[in-house]
């Protein structure tokens, strides 16, 4: 989609006053988008009330929305409009000025804050809408660390093209492994890597170490001892179970991140 389209869509259809952390994946790293989609998000939001309410009442109602909520995506949404549940980890009321309410919300990916504001307004009785929104966190990326603007990207990239100094790239690009900070990780032997790159499932003998808190069915990142991401997998057992396994499949490979042949092939093929 190009900028030149703006005339045909008109201002009302655009994204007014929605800013903040947007993880941009470059070429090969697009494969980790999955890890972002299911990660938690944090927003700071300005909600405009349509009537006068006391601070206490607003705070009370916001609190009611903590934990699990039901939500139907708004009319203009990029997903199917069916009722679904989303978890709200916390809502912190920050301040209130007249009819403008400022709050911070930590929620599961896919929660519509515009809808949340509308629903808060319904419960209050006076109605409300979302005025302004800023995403302060997407998974492991926050607005406090390594955030850059489009201008920074254009500037540093031009600088790098002239000087060819990798230090400049590091100012605005992070290795994709940064995105996996919050995903439970499992480290494997060099000899297991290429098989996984070819789509094989992860088996117990290849595992060197793993993090706590893995449950059967949860997403898990497979890494080499050098810390490179090999694949995203779906765990078939919990941390404790995996530790005691001698053989058998530990995780199903869902998305391979590393190209084949990066590590040597270490398995016997049929003909040999």
Q: Of residues 134-163, which lie at the interface with other proteins (CB under 8 A)?
A: 135, 137-141, 143, 145-150, 153-154, 157, 160
Q: How far apart are CA 180 and CA 189, in angstroms?
A: 19
Task: Rule CB under 8 A: say whether 19 interacts with other proteins.
Answer: yes
Binds other proteins by CB under 8 A, chosen from 234, 239, 241, 249? 239
Site for other proteins in 205-234 (CB under 8 A): 207-213, 224-229
- Residue with Cβ nearer other proteins (91 or 270): 91
Shortest distance in whole angstroms from residue 45 CB to other proteins = 9
SS3 263: coil
Site for other proteins in 100-119 (CB under 8 A): 106, 109, 112-114
Both tokens of residue 243? 């530790």
| DSSP-assigned states of every residue in 42-94 | EEEEEEEESS---HHHHHHHHHHTSEEEEE---SS-SS----EEEEEEEEEEE
Mark 242-261 with x for binding to other proteins (rule: CB under 8 A) and - for no binding: xx--------------x---
Shortest distance in whole angstroms from residue 98 CB to other proteins = 20
- Kindly give the residue spans of alpha helices, DSSP state H, lying in 76-112: none
Would you put residue 241 in left (φ > 0), alpha (ψ -120 to 50) or beta? alpha
Task: Rule CB under 8 A: say whether 23 interacts with other proteins.
Answer: yes
């Amino acid at each position: 989609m190009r900028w030149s389209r703006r005339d045909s869509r008109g201002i009302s259809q655009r994204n007014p006053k929605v800013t903040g952390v947007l993880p941009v994946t470059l070429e090969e790293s697009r494969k980790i988008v999955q890890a972002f989609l299911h990660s938690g998000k944090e927003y700071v939001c300005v909600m405009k009330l349509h009537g006068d309410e006391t601070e206490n009442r607003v705070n009370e109602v916001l609190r009611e929305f903590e934990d699990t909520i039901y939500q139907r995506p708004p009319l203009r949404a990029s997903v199917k409009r069916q009722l679904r549940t989303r978890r709200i980890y916390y809502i912190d009321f920050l301040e209130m000025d007249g009819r403008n309410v400022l709050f911070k919300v930590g929620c599961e990916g896919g929660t519509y804050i515009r809808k949340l504001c509308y629903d808060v307004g319904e419960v209050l009785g006076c109605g409300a809408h979302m005025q302004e929104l800023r995403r302060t966190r997407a998974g492991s990326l926050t607005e406090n660390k390594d955030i850059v603007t489009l201008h920074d990207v254009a500037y540093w990239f031009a600088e790098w093209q002239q000087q060819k100094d990798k230090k400049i790239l590091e100012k605005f690009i992070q290795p994709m492994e940064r995105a996996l900070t919050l995903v439970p990780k499992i480290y494997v032997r060099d000899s297991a890597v290429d098989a996984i790159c070819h789509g094989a499932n992860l088996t117990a003998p290849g595992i060197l170490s793993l993090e706590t808190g893995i449950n059967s069915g949860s997403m898990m990142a497979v890494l080499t001892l050098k810390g490179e991401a090999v694949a995203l997998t779906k765990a078939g057992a919990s941390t404790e179970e995996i530790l005691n396994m001698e053989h058998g499949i530990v995780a199903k490979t869902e998305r391979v991140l590393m190209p084949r042949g990066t590590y040597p092939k270490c398995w016997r093929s049929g003909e040999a």
